[in-house]
């Protein structure tokens, strides 16, 4: 079985086309892998019957020579994507028992391409968190372990998604990224994660968190798989008014194009107190790799970088407080009965939302309320423009930016932190790209002194995912990241 | 702009969240911690800066104002906590 799990998606597609393996065999191996690694709590719902039915259809299309881009590839779906007839909860009690009667555009695109759904993946409640610890289903656990064998967080909010790819219980997974929720867990778990340009993947059918920042993207084992999955996910969708009709470049070819002649910016503000020394060293190493591959490294300045996090923590909660107003106990999900309509709303929402979600709803309501709107929300929107202008200026002279993905490696599950602001710092290097709508790619590039994965981040111009994959392909080849986590399926030999 | 217990009670009411009396002060302290940190933005001069609401740079697309969906009452009510005769049921709002 483990040799099936060794195949990347690109390799699996070739083997499926060559009929040396079947989609049913591959799917069966991944269902077993998901069961073997169940203790990691990556899946909140396994759908083996559904998966085997989809695999049988994939085998039929393969036999007829009608295979799609991802035909027969076992895939996990973050529980934020609505899946027709399959429970979708955003990992919140307030959506307990919700079964969507429709399919999100992104997942519909993936099934049209022939992918096979293994199940729904754990995440932070409504994608609000950076450690997958706010989930109503309990924390997802990383397959990586520290020297003392403690359980580590996989990052978040797409923690189950990144952990499942690292644990080999899915060949690829969907994630969503509002402030780093694809790139940070990808870095923590040693896998590849892309937040595409805002508008590249349709938001239709994805449970909304902060609509001007949310973007779906692929999490995969390597860069080539990532480009392949993006090609299947991305589309222009009239049902999402912010969806873009700018054509996707040939991202699959870009992975092997190299960086000769590219100008790569190194933003001097991407440093902070408490940053792991190994992260600083890896960032320098990444610059050397790109220079050796023929790129020109350029020092650039993004002067408003330090204001990105506070800006984000006004805009994201404000949008969330508005988006989450829909959970009222009337149309779907949890309802707590009470005497009056208002009491029913208040009791339902207090029982259904977890602590972090309630905190963000309250912050968002406050910054939008009469008397404070100008001081907080409008101010944040103005600073957001300055942050975007920093990037516009930088991209006038460079093709991409190289930064660390996270300030540190993964930390233990249950780490007690009284100050919510400390947790926000996980996203210090990823949040700016969301505020500016830029694509960002996280690539595993090394290990820290404790043997835990560290990632480098590549940022690019809007709609220029190809440049990210060019840089990512070179980083991946230079790093030759072959380390594997202890608690992966088929890992104990 | 410090948040006190009565402000928390007011925004909880606006957000339709039942925050118990004994939680008002702890929540106020948490919010003040976040708001104090956010206040860092005040040092950024923004007098002639237009607020940024959308990064896409393109105008929202127009479409014809017409019905595109319907006749699916059962689907709409498929997840309803309480429904009757094709309607959502809520506690009595008119005496």
B73 and chain A in contact, CB less than 8 A = no
Domain that holds residue A10: 2-262
Interface probe for B, chosen from A85, A366, A367, A385 (most Cβ of B below 10 Å), is A366
The set of residues, in sequence order, having a beta carbon less than 8 Å from that of A286 and lying 6+ positions away, is A402, A445, A456, A475
Number of domains in chain A: 1
From the candidates A310, A325, A395, which should be mutated to test the interface with B, based on the most B CB atoms within 10 A? A310
- B66 at the A interface (CB within 8 A)? no
Domain count, chain B: 1
Token look-up 């009690």 returns A93
Candidates B2, B33, B38: best to mutate against A (most CBs of A within 10 A) is B38
Q: Across all residues in chain B, what is the average pLDDT?
A: 93
Do the Cβ atoms of A382 and B60 come within 8 Å?
A: no
In a domain, B70, yes or no: no
Which residues of chain B lie closer than 8 angstroms to A363, CB-CB? 31, 34-35
ipTM: 0.96
Which residues does A216 contact at the CB level (< 8 Å), separation at least 6? A81, A106, A174, A175, A176, A177, A196, A201, A202, A203, A206, A233
Query: Per residue in A353-381, is it b (16+ CB within 10 Å) or e — as a string?
Result: bbebbbbbbbbbbbbbbeebeebbbebbb
Q: Which residue is closest to B16 within chain A, CA to CA?
A: A346
Residue B78 within any structural domain of the chain: no
Name the residue range of residue B38's domain: 5-43
Q: Does residue B13 fall inside a structural domain? A: yes
Contact of B69 with chain A, judged by CB distance below 8 Å, is answered with no
Contact list in A for residue B27 (CB cut-off 8 A) is 359, 362
pLDDT digits (tens, 9 = 90+) for B45-64: 999 999 998 898 888 889 89
CB-based contact B78 A345, cutoff 8 Å: no
In a domain, A193, yes or no: yes
Tokens for A444, please give them.
């595993």
pTM of the full structure: 0.97
End-to-end Cα spacing for chain B: 41
**B8 in contact with chain A, both atoms CB, cutoff 8 A:** yes
| pLDDT tens track for A131-184 | 999 999 999 999 999 888 999 999 999 999 999 999 999 999 999 999 999 999
Residues from chain A contacting residue B33 (CB–CB below 8 Å): 419-421
Q: Is residue B21 part of a domain?
A: yes
Q: Which residues contact A160 (CB under 8 A, 6 or more apart)?
A: A41, A42, A43, A44, A76, A78, A79, A121, A122, A123, A132, A140, A154, A173
Cβ contact, residue pair B80, A331, below 8 Å:
yes
* A395: in domain: no
Residues 25..64 of B with a Cβ closer than 8 Å to A: which? 27, 30-31, 33-35, 37-38, 40-42, 44, 46, 49-56, 58, 60-61, 63
Are the beta carbons of A199 and A245 closer than 8 angstroms?
A: no
Q: What is the pLDDT of residue B58?
A: 81
pLDDT for position A2: 58
Cβ contact A331–B63 (<8 Å):
no
Residues B17, A362: C-beta atoms closer than 8 Å: yes
pLDDT of residue A171: 98
Task: Name beta bridge partners: A120.
Answer: A45, A77
Residues of A catalogued as catalytic: 78, 157, 181
Contact B79 A342 (CB under 8 A): no
- The verdict on B24 touching A (C-beta cutoff 8 Å) is no
Residue of A nearest to B10 (CA): A366
Q: Do A83 and A103 touch, CB atoms closer than 8 A?
A: yes
Give the burial class of A226: count Cβ atoms within 10 A of its Cβ; 0-12 exposed, 13-18 middle, 19 or more buried.
buried
**Overall size of chain B counted in residues:** 95
- Give the model's pLDDT for residue A274: 81
**Across the interface, which of A99, A244, A349 has its CB nearest the CB of B56?**
A244
Q: Do A381 and B55 touch (CB under 8 A)?
A: no
Residue where the block lists tokens 């202008």? A389
Beta bridge partners of A75: A117, A172
B43 to chain A: closest CA residue:
A307
Does residue A430 belong to any structural domain of this protein? Answer: no
Using a CB-CB cut-off of 8 Å, the residues of chain B touching A435 are: 55
Give residue-wise pLDDT tens across range A176-222. Answer: 999 999 999 999 999 999 999 999 999 999 999 999 999 999 999 99
Does residue B17 sit at the A interface (CB-CB below 8 Å)? yes
Phi and psi at residue B83, to the nearest 5°: -140, 165
Q: How many CB pairs under 8 A join A and B?
A: 155
For residue A359, which residues of chain B lie inside 8 Å, CB to CB? 27, 30-31, 34
Q: Report whether A357 contacts A133 (CB < 8 A).
A: no
Residues of B in contact with A384 (CB under 8 A): 51-52
- The reply to whether residue A421 touches residue B61, judged by beta carbons under 8 angstroms, is no
Tell if the CB–CB gap between A311 and B90 is shorter than 8 Å.
no
- A362:B12 CB<8 A: yes
In the block, residue with structure tokens 């969240």: B17
Q: Per the domain annotation, does B16 fall within a domain?
A: yes
Contact criterion met (CB < 8 Å) for B78 and A339: no
B59 located within any domain: no
Nearest to A434, CA basis, from A309, A333, A327, A323: A309
Q: Note the pLDDT of residue A35.
A: 98
State yes or no: pLDDT of B1 exceeds 60: no
Residue A258 placed within a domain: yes
Residue B65 domain-assigned (yes or no): no
- CB within 8 Å: B54 and A345: no
The tokens for A386 are: 């300055």
- The minimum CA-CA distance between B75 and chain A, rounded to whole Å, is 7
Cβ contacts of B81 on chain A, cutoff 8 Å: 329-330, 332-335
Classify residue B81: in a domain, yes or no.
Answer: no
CATH number at residue A101: 3.90.1300.10
Sheet containing A43-46, strands listed edge to edge, beginning at the edge strand earlier in sequence: A43-46, A116-121, A74-78, A172-176, A216-220, A192-195, A440-447, A453-460, A400-404, A263-267, A296-300
Q: Nearest 5°: phi and psi at A153? A: -75, 150
Below-70 pLDDT ranges, chain A: 1-2, 492-493
């Amino acid at each position: 079985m483990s040799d099936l799990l060794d195949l990347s998606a690109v390799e699996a597609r070739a083997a499926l086309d060559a009929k040396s393996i079947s989609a049913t065999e591959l799917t069966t191996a991944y269902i077993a892998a998901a069961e073997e690694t169940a203790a990691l709590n990556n899946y909140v719902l396994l759908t083996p019957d559904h998966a085997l039915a989809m695999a049988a259809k994939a085998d039929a299309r393969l036999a007829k020579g009608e295979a799609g881009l991802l035909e027969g590839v076992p895939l996990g779906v973050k529980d934020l994507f609505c899946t027709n007839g399959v429970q979708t909860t955003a990992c919140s009690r307030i959506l307990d028992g919700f079964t969507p009667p429709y399919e999100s555009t992104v997942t519909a695109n993936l099934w049209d391409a022939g992918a096979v759904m293994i199940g729904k993946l754990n995440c932070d409640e409504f994608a609000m968190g950076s450690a997958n610890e706010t989930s109503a289903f309990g924390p997802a656990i990383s397959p990586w372990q520290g020297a003392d064998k403690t359980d580590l967080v996989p990052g978040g909010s797409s923690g189950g998604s990144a952990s499942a790819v690292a644990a080999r219980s899915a060949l690829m997974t969907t994630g969503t990224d509002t402030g780093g929720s694809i790139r940070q867990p990808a870095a923590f778990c040693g896998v590849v994660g892309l937040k595409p340009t805002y508008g590249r993947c349709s938001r239709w059918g994805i449970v909304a968190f902060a609509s001007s920042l949310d973007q779906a993207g692929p999490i995969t084992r390597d860069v080539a798989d990532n480009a392949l999955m993006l090609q299947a996910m991305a589309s222009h969708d009239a049902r999402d008014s912010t969806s873009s009709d700018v054509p996707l470049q040939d991202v699959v070819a870009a992975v092997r194009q190299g960086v000769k002649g590219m100008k790569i910016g190194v933003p001097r503000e991407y440093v902070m107190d408490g940053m792991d020394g190994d992260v600083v060293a890896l960032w320098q190493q990444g610059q050397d790799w790109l220079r050796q591959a023929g790129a020109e490294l350029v020092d650039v300045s993004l002067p408003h970088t330090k204001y990105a996090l506070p800006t984000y923590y006004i805009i994201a909660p404000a949008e969330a407080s508005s988006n989450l107003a829909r959970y009222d106990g009337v149309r779907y999900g949890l309802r707590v009965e009470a005497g009056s309509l208002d009491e029913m709303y208040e009791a339902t929402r207090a029982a259904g939302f977890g602590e972090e979600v309630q905190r963000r709803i309250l912050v968002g309501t406050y910054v939008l309320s009469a008397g404070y709107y100008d001081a907080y929300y409008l101010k944040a929107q103005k600073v957001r423009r300055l942050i975007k202008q920093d990037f516009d200026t930088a991209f006038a002279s460079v093709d991409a930016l190289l930064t660390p993905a996270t300030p540190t490696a993964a930390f233990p599950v249950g780490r007690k932190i009284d100050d919510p602001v400390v947790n926000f710092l996980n996203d210090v290097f990823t949040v700016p790209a969301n505020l500016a709508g830029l694509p960002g790619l996280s690539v595993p590039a090394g290990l820290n002194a404790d043997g835990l994965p560290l990632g480098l981040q590549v940022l690019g111009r809007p709609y220029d995912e190809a440049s990210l994959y060019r840089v990512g392909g070179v980083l991946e080849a230079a790093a030759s990241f072959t380390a594997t986590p202890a608690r992966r399926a088929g890992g104990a030999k | 702009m410090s948040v006190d217990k009565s402000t928390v009670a007011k925004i909880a009411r606006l957000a339709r969240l039942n925050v118990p009396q004994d939680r008002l002060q702890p929540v106020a302290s948490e919010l003040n911690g976040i708001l104090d940190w956010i206040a860092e933005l005040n040092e950024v001069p923004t007098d002639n800066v237009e607020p940024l609401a959308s990064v896409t740079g393109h105008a929202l697309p127009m479409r014809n104002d017409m019905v595109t969906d319907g006749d699916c009452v059962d689907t709409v009510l498929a997840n309803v906590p309480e429904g009757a005769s094709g309607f959502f049921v809520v506690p009595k709002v008119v005496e």
